[in-house]
Chains A and B, each alone.
Chain A
Amino acid sequence: MTYYNEMYEGSQVRDPYARLSQWVETMPADFRQMKQAEAEALFRRIGITFAVYGEGGDPDRLIPFDMMPRVFEQAEWRKLERGIKQRARALNAFLRDVYGRAEIVRAGRIPARLVYQNEAYEKAVVGVVPPRGVYSHIIGIDLVRTAKDQFYVLEDNCRTPSGVSYMLENREIMMRMFPGLFRGNRIEPVDQYPDLLRRTLESVAPAKCHDRPTCVVLTPGHFNSAYYEHSFLANLMGVELVEGQDLFVDGEFVYMRTTQGPKRVDVIYRRIDDPFLDPLCFRPDSMLGVPGLMDVYRSGGVSICSAPGAGVADDKAIYTFVPEMVRFYLGEEPLLQNVQTWTLWKDDDYKYVMENLADLVVKEVHGSGGYGMLVGPKSTKDEIEAFRAKIQADPGNYIAQPTLALSTCPTFVAEGLAPRHVDLRPYCLCGDRIELVPGGLTRVALREGSLVVNSSQGGGVKDTWVLSE
């Protein structure tokens, strides 16, 4: 398999990387090591760590930062941006539809059972139309590249995509350590993200809110692996970070306890999952949520971002229908391609996948974070057979995709620069407008040859540049 190298075409350096190439060539090795240590110290000092589920070890482990930026040309980015915005519009149109008249189901364009029997389909919010009809306000769309002009969407994240704090910190730290690089390159900024996020949240305040909306970030607490990000975003937006116990329902509204007494809350950017939001509507044993919150939400007293039930749009089984959503709701051809996907509950697909396991990537329908997946070409015979048994036990729980030739970016390793596989997660904001900051979070598989970029599986991150014209 040959991989598209984003920096080199043969031995030639591609245009957007010209200056970076010079920078690397003139950098002494000891200087690089010193800077790498400095970067690590900075990340530690800020406290940006990422706890890894299920792996044990140090919960405050640093996610490795690679100093070599990834670069997009303006034209490349604009094309991606159009595709991402188009996809975000279609996903929200789908959510509005399946919690309303479900025209797409009536039209036979998506199977009813896939929607209504989906665990993430929330019947408690059927008929509830959130402000501006937006259900998913922050959509993280995971993209991979296989050629100069060929990008694929790996998955959509419509609930509470994490990682945007890394995008902001990576830039911050690069600018601090290498100010010269930013003088010599015209790089589009990303630091407006918190302001855009706050503006987006304020734009979906409920109709009952008449003043400047009060927004909060609702976190499950400091045991959560993304707690750092919750506090980081609240801080940068200038809004309160709260836990469930800091909020309460009184009459028709939700209030936050403050030293000056109760303050009404209009928009909740929640980073807790649907089942934990409200013990009176969902799991009765949830200690993380706010009792009565869903009744207030359903009667238009507060906005919840993302809206409860938004997860039905980002399921891996629903994913295969997103191009269809673009055509159905927008009357457009999709600008971004899906990866070919076999759904194992279909007999033909099942047969094909079982015969070709060694060449395919198999994922759990509801899995995330790179857990519970098989990368056929990178697995041993035993691993493949063990996975085969899991699939046989519950075929409906799996999808399969071809192993993609993920592009590589030069990445610092012990011996210098070496190609490593990357993906990209841009964060699309949906409120009264649809916006995204240039770039996103680049994740890099640091192990040689690895195609799994998840931080839980030994992935690192890079600063992502979009060059100005």
Chain B
Amino acid sequence: MKLRIVHQTVYRYDLPVRNLVQSLRLTPSVFEGQRTHDWVIDVSGGIRGPGFRDGAGDWIEGWTVRGPTEEVVVATSGRVETRDTAGVLRGHRELIHPLAYLRDTVATRADAALRDLAAGVTDASDPLGLAHRLSAAVSEAIAYRPGRTEFHTTAAEALAQGEGVCQDHAHALIAVARLRDLPARYVSGYLHSTAGGEAHEAAHAWAEIHVQGLGWVGFDPANRCCPDERYVRLGSGLDALDAAPIRGIAAGQGIETLDVAVNVEEVERFQTQSQSQTQS
């Protein structure tokens, strides 16, 4: 699939702020399932700082805005050519040992209900089967319903409530997978929603579970599937915070409001001649 992505985040402050610092994980991953063309990141009024590929294989870019300013726009755009790898993250260069993804965080900490959910999956014959069943169990236990949870909602809270969005599904799946001793992590990215498909937001998140012999495999309990060519992967972490595409902080008293617009559309062909990957 050839996808054109435009992602814009506007931060507004009611009072001017200074020394805004951001750490951006906003560049599509490099692996067999996707190739990136002409990817551009720009932060209005910002200075591009350090850029590097981290141990998880994510391209990280630091930006600073000296200010004072009342508005900062983080704009990314580019094209990604995707291929269905049945959810398997093949050809992805990373250095971190999978076992480092067994530790929990506040968002993924297990409670009794999550333990019951994890223990309730009994008929799996192998780790891959177990991962699929855990994902299905999470889909069953948490209904997709926007607006009922927020960024700080934990897996345990979402499960208690029985509803949530993709972030909550991913957190819950990570929690139950780790309980079954499967390394699991949070993935942030984009999803192209086909016409007539589910009305999910284009900014999306899912989970990856490490399966012996296969490596990392994506699972999207919110859509009851594994990532295919409609998915664009940005980066990963222990939870949503750790994998956040944008982490930033500013000095000043200003109260921040946020406006996000993401557009992922399928195009017939890419118009430019450039086939080089950026920042690989």
Which residues on A are within 8 Å of B, measured CB to CB?
100, 102, 105, 112-113, 115-117, 119, 121, 123-128, 248-252, 279-281, 284, 291-292, 294-296, 298-301
Contacts and interface: CB of A to CB of B under 8 A. Distances in A.
A127 B64 CA distance: 24
Nearest to B97: A116
B55 A292 contact: no
Contacts of B241: 284
11 contacts: A105-B97, A124-B55, A127-B55, A249-B49, A251-B64, A252-B62, A284-B247, A295-B50, A296-B50, A298-B54, A299-B62
Contact of A295 (B56, B62, B96, B100): B62
Interface string B157-169: 0000000000000
Given A280-B23, A299-B62, 9 more contacts: A117-B100, A123-B55, A123-B238, A249-B21, A251-B64, A280-B21, A291-B248, A294-B23, A296-B62
Interface residues of B, number: 29
A292 B21 contact: yes
A252 B22 CA distance: 12
A294 B49 CA distance: 12
A250 B66 contact: yes
Interface in B132-159: none
B56 A298 contact: no
Nearest to A98: B97
Interface string B221-244: 000000000000000001001000
A123 B100 contact: yes
Nearest to A119: B103
Contact of B23 (A115, A248, A252, A281): A281
A113 B23 contact: no
A251 B51 CA distance: 10
Given A117-B102, A127-B95, A252-B49, A291 B54 contact: no
A299 B100 contact: no
Nearest to B56: A123
A228 B247 CA distance: 34
Of A102, A126, A296, which is in contact with the most chain B CB atoms at under 10 Å from its CB? A126
Given A123-B100, A250-B47, A284-B241, A298 B60 contact: yes
B51 to A, nearest CB: 7
Interface in B22-77: 22-23, 47-52, 54-56, 60, 62, 64, 66
A317 to B, nearest CB: 15
A116 B238 CA distance: 13
Interface of B: 19, 21-23, 47-52, 54-56, 60, 62, 64, 66, 95-97, 99-100, 102-103, 238, 241, 247-249
A299 B50 contact: yes
Contacts of B103: 117, 119
A112 B248 contact: no
Nearest to A250: B64
Nearest to A293: B21
Contacts of A125: 55
Contacts of A105: 97
A251 B247 CA distance: 16
Contacts of A121: 100
Nearest to B238: A123
B54 A117 contact: no
B19 A112 contact: no
B149 to A, nearest CB: 18
Contacts of B102: 113, 116-117
A198 to B, nearest CB: 26
B100 A292 contact: no
Contact of A298 (B19, B50, B97, B248): B50
9 closest A-B pairs by CB:
A126-B55, A299-B50, A116-B99, A295-B62, A292-B21, A127-B55, A291-B21, A291-B249, A280-B23
Contacts of B64: 249-251, 292
A251 B49 contact: yes
